[in-house]
Amino acid sequence: MTKQIIIIIVLIAAVAIIGSIFSFTKGPGDEGREPSLNTRKSYSNDIYGINFEYPANYFLEEREVGTGERGHYQIMLTEDTEENRRLRQGEATIAREGPTAITIDFYQNNIEKLELYKWLTETNQSNFKLSDGSYMSLTQSGKEAVSYTWDGLYTGDTVALLYKDNIVALSVTYLGPDDEIRKDFKNVVLTTLTFK
């Protein structure tokens, strides 16, 4: 009988200890609050005429990366982690090029006025030469587009389309097909993207 009482006391103490450990993992007021991964931020750019939403746990950067001859404006989303912050600030010494990312690239196209298929097959910007050569025609945000997968430093999916004086490439890079960034690209960015 005393052996059973000791076992019951030990079990109660173990449950109390486990309960106290888990109570420290939540902050005050966390009960019933939606995780930050499920909240979204909005982005709008009047110059390029684009709007979309993205998960709040991503860091958004935008910049002109073209040359004096051709414009190339890039919007980049990376997961906002300590490692990625250090990479952005040039502090990290990690043996890789950079984090996986969601990018929206506007390539100036008002000089050559390339058709989408020519841009796809005749330029290095498309990364199509890193694909198996197949693509799928689709509609993205009401515009004719092509979608394809390529494999370079990372694996990537791209949806490309013509819009105003630009070729727009919507891309995501990832390490594995089930990575969360790939799901965020398809389920948030592509589904909320609109052109003005």
The Cβ of residue 103 has, within 10 Å, a number of other Cβ atoms equal to: 18
What is the model's pLDDT at position 28?
A: 36
Query: Per-domain residue ranges for the chain?
Result: 33-195
Q: Which CATH class is domain 33-195?
A: alpha beta
The secondary structure of 104-126 as a DSSP string is EEEEE-SSS---HHHHHHH-STT
pTM of the model: 0.76
Given this model, what pLDDT does residue 4 score?
56
Q: Are 85 and 99 in contact (CB under 8 A)?
A: no
Please tell me the predicted confidence (pLDDT) of residue 37: 46
Q: What is the mean pLDDT, run by run of 10 residues, along the chain of 196 residues?
A: 53 41 35 52 96 95 92 95 78 68 96 94 95 94 94 95 96 95 94 94
Give me the amino acid identity at 146. Answer: V
State the Cα–Cα distance between residues 78 and 84, nearest whole angstrom: 7
**CB-based contact 179:156 (threshold 8 Å):** no
